[in-house]
Amino acid sequence: MSNWVRMIAALFAVAVSEGAAMAQSDPLPSWNEGTIKNSITDFVARVTTQGLDFVPVAERIAVFDNDGTLWMEQPYYFQLAFAFDRIKALAPTHPEWKDRQPFKGLFEGDLKAALATGMKGLLDVVAVTHAGMTTDEFSRIVEDWTKTAQHPRFKRPYIQLVYQPMLELMDYLRANDFKTFIVSGGGVEFMRVFAEDVYAIPPEQVVGSSGVVKLERTADGVIKLIKDAKVEFIDDHDGKPVGINRFIGRRPILAFGNSDGDQAMLQYTAAGPGPRFLGLVHHTDAEREYAYDRQSHVGKLDKALDEARERGWTIVDMKRDWAVVFPHERLAIQPAR
Amino acid sequence: MSNWVRMIAALFAVAVSEGAAMAQSDPLPSWNEGTIKNSITDFVARVTTQGLDFVPVAERIAVFDNDGTLWMEQPYYFQLAFAFDRIKALAPTHPEWKDRQPFKGLFEGDLKAALATGMKGLLDVVAVTHAGMTTDEFSRIVEDWTKTAQHPRFKRPYIQLVYQPMLELMDYLRANDFKTFIVSGGGVEFMRVFAEDVYAIPPEQVVGSSGVVKLERTADGVIKLIKDAKVEFIDDHDGKPVGINRFIGRRPILAFGNSDGDQAMLQYTAAGPGPRFLGLVHHTDAEREYAYDRQSHVGKLDKALDEARERGWTIVDMKRDWAVVFPHERLAIQPAR
């Protein structure tokens, strides 16, 4: 590079960084001002500034639970809604389901009867909705569902019921050279279908529960990957640190969850050396979303809430801390500046 | 941005890209000119240039076998060398091994007697060298080994016996916005210790075989991940497409291997739509490295070689196509320019 190019480059770098600093003065516009928002920006400033708490880029691993942390999980897990919708779509070709639980209950809207079949019924549902097809076929089915199915209360596609403040948080972390991962009890092949579009998280950064996948070959030797009905790995509770070790191979420095299923992930993240950020989304907003914690059958938050209070983890009070909940609210209000 | 900044930025961008183009005129200096080198640069040009064969950045997934593809695998897999060295280090505290195979054979240099114990003997070796400790402890042991152990023929640390042309190829792909992954039959927790330093591949982009990892808690509740002696997943042969699906979740567009263990990975990669690159390293250089293929007990290349010839995959002839084999040779010769 000649000297004049160097000089212009230096000038340009200053101009650009000033411009960028102005444009990004609030990277978290959907978070209300206060302790919680400050705890996030303080942490990021600490680990990205040269000094005692500095963390090299390669170690800036951030993990996020999905159900109840990045998107809604009420009135029941969205993947269960997918399975129920799928059963209804398949029903015409399966007349034998009409008189058999858990299918009968699903058709008749008697969820209680369906759920009474317990784990056996759930595995029946998984077997017919998540197995017996190639991984590519499954992806297409899920993709179609995300485009057509609607949440019963909010009357919007499920993939629009993601939390705008969490999208901003993940963008903010990535802008600060964090690598963001999903670590969820949900099915990995289910989440990977939309995670890139919705969360900007590529498939290889999605960790989740999985079924066995078998390799088969067609008559002319082409490899097919077939989803089997057997459970391979449950990425929940104590499974989360195991999943993080298996898929990421490095202890995160930031973990965000919302339920007791995330407690082990937060504990594991907390136990590493150096600065750590542990966050819980507390669902306190029955009006804009839902209010639930210790007694909920979905996303129960009990022991993890106690531990978070004891240890001073960051507890996000949805009602108090989030200016908006969903992206469509953000679009509807005035831009922050 | 003001107009003058925009103008200077545009000027600057032109100057920089011209400078970069000159400096990078040969991104693969350790590859001899010819059909093979051209097949690589042609492929990269095709998928990165707007047009019919263009591949979006997110789909530029490149997978590499490790043993025999990125580093040496003779006279036997380096991870086996690690296990043998480890057994020798542990021997003083295990007097009972003195008269028991496969340990006895290892101590006496009678590899044949040791290997005669077959899979059972191998699992005994794995159990004492790869299990019964935390994942962190195992990482430290491997790290120490990479610093001290030396290859019997080349008298260098094993991690220096990586292939300089493949390092350049991976750098070149990453410079063209590919994401590079290791997909190896080797142990994932073994490779992750050095993959970032040696290959610039972070832990989360290493796919490999694994043992079961159990979560335990200390008396005061701290989570420990303990390596168990049970095999969880073998990432070899038909396991490779399964591993790619499980860990990456997207079909690669480029795959490089060197043995029949990589054949399924190449087939799976080849079966996707659009442009594909399938490569095999053929070990043809007994002088600088080793010469072996169909008859080798390590890295056997037989059926995959036939298929590669039939289908016109790229077969790298180490002797013909590589100007240098190892990084230390590169440092010893004149820079290309």
- HEC string for B214-238: EEEECCCCCEEEEEEEEEEECCCCC
- Tell me, yes or no, if B38 comes closer than 8 A to chain A by beta carbon: no
Query: For residue B190, what is the DSSP state?
Result: H
pTM of the model: 0.91
In this predicted complex, what is the ipTM? 0.90
- pLDDT of B326 > 80? The answer is yes
Are B111 and B102 in contact, with CB atoms under 8 Å apart? no
Which pLDDT score is estimated for B336?
A: 47
From chain A, the residues in CB contact with B231 under 8 A are: none
Structure tokens at B153: 């023929």
Which pLDDT score is estimated for B337?
A: 43
- Taking CA atoms, what residue in B is nearest to A180? B204
Provide the shortest C-alpha distance from residue B155 to chain A (in Å): 30
Are A295 and A103 in contact, with CB atoms under 8 Å apart? no
Are A294 and A305 in contact, with CB atoms under 8 Å apart? yes
Lowest mean pLDDT among B4-8, B42-46, B163-167: B4-8
- Tell me, yes or no, if A194 comes closer than 8 A to chain B by beta carbon: no
Query: For residue B69, what is the DSSP state?
Result: T
In this predicted model, what pLDDT tens digit does every residue of B263-314 receive, in sequence order? 999 999 999 999 999 999 999 999 999 999 999 989 999 999 999 999 999 9
Tokens 């705890």, residue located: A39
Distance CA A335, CA B20 (A): 39
- Taking CA atoms, what residue in B is nearest to A265? B223
Q: Per DSSP, what are the bridge partners of residue B291?
A: B284
- Tell me, yes or no, if B193 comes closer than 8 A to chain A by beta carbon: no
Residue-level length of chain B: 337
Tell me if residue B328 falls in helix, strand or coil: helix
Distance CA B166, CA B71 (A): 9
Which of A2, A222, A225 lies nearest to residue B245, judging by beta carbons? A225
- Tell me, yes or no, if B19 comes closer than 8 A to chain A by beta carbon: yes
Structure tokens at B176: 């063209």
Which pLDDT score is estimated for B331?
A: 77
Which pLDDT score is estimated for B24?
A: 56
Chain-chain contact of A19 with B1 (C-beta, under 8 angstroms): yes
Chain-chain contact of A202 with B271 (C-beta, under 8 angstroms): no
Query: From the CB of residue B174, how many other CB atoms can be counted at a distance below 10 Å?
Result: 15
- Taking CA atoms, what residue in B is nearest to A214? B242
Which of A2, A193, A225 should one mutate to test binding to chain B, selecting the residue with the greatest count of B CBs within 10 A? A225
- Tell me, yes or no, if B23 comes closer than 8 A to chain A by beta carbon: no
Among B291, B285, B297, which residue's Cα sits nearest to residue B323?
B285
Cα angle value A220/A221/A222 (rounded, 5°): 100
pLDDT in tens, chain A (337 residues): 455 555 555 555 544 454 444 455 899 999 999 999 999 999 999 999 999 999 999 999 999 999 999 999 999 999 999 999 999 999 999 999 999 999 999 899 888 888 888 888 888 898 999 999 999 999 999 999 999 999 999 999 999 999 999 999 999 999 999 999 999 999 999 999 999 999 999 999 999 999 999 999 999 999 999 999 999 999 999 999 999 999 999 999 999 999 999 999 999 999 999 999 999 999 999 999 999 999 998 999 999 999 999 999 999 999 999 999 999 998 776 554 4
CA distances from B236 to A3, A14, B61, B186, B187 (A): 53, 51, 19, 8, 11
Chain-chain contact of B11 with A8 (C-beta, under 8 angstroms): yes
Which pLDDT score is estimated for A3?
A: 53
Provide the shortest C-alpha distance from residue A246 to chain B (in Å): 8
Which pLDDT score is estimated for B112?
A: 86
- Tell me, yes or no, if A227 comes closer than 8 A to chain B by beta carbon: no
User: Phi and psi of B314, rounded to 5°?
Assistant: -80, 120
In this predicted model, what pLDDT tens digit does every residue of B156-209 receive, in sequence order? 999 999 999 999 999 999 999 999 999 999 999 999 999 999 999 999 999 999
pLDDT band for position B334 (cuts 50, 70, 90) = low
From chain A, the residues in CB contact with B16 under 8 A are: 1, 5, 9
Distance CA A277, CA A317 (A): 16
- Tell me, yes or no, if A22 comes closer than 8 A to chain B by beta carbon: no
Residue-level length of chain A: 337
Chain-chain contact of B9 with A1 (C-beta, under 8 angstroms): no
State chain B's mean pLDDT as an integer. Answer: 92
Structure tokens at B135: 């994942």
